[in-house]
Amino acid sequence: MKLLCEKMDFLSVLLLFFSAVAVSRAQVQQELSAETSEGTGINITCSHPSIQADNIHWYRQLPGRGPAFLVNAFKGSKEVPDPEGQVFVSSDRRSSALWLARPRLGDAAVYYCA
């Protein structure tokens, strides 16, 4: 029985979908989707070459819900409490990544950066 459960954990695959969001002065681009197994960390990346003075905001939208704010950052890295991970903003501020350290099935969602 234990073996079966472990096997099912391993087979559980998360699908994370991303959307490009155009905000006032900044066009952002993200890959359309990525998948990982439960517990296997993943970087969700976002390119925003023309965001200037603004913070980078990350949101996620769980199925059937509205978008919820996760974190904002200007430069460098910052801890994200829920979902556990970190956000990294490149030193030239042209891209950022949301690192989900231990994704669970409940983290399958649409992730936005803006």
Q: Which of 40, 99, 101, 110 binds ligand NAG (CB under 6 A)?
A: 99
CA separation for the pair 113, 72 (Å, rounded): 9
Copy the structure tokens of residue 5: 């459960």
Contact 36, 26 (CB under 8 A): no
Determine if 47 is a binding residue for ligand NAG (CB under 6 A): no
Q: Name which of 4 and 55 has its Cβ closer to ligand NAG.
A: 55
Q: Min. distance of Cβ 99 from ligand NAG in angstroms?
A: 5
Strands 110-113 and 13-19: parallel
Q: Min. distance of Cβ 64 from ligand NAG in angstroms?
A: 29
Residue with the two structure tokens 């350290």:
101
Q: Which of 43, 47, 55, 72 binds ligand NAG (CB under 6 A)?
A: 43
SS3 for 29-41, per residue?
Answer: EECCEEEEECCCC
Q: Name which of 29 and 43 has its Cβ closer to ligand NAG.
A: 43
Neighbours of 15 (CB within 10 A): 11
Determine if 113 is a binding residue for ligand NAG (CB under 6 A): no
Q: Min. distance of Cβ 15 from ligand NAG in angstroms?
A: 19
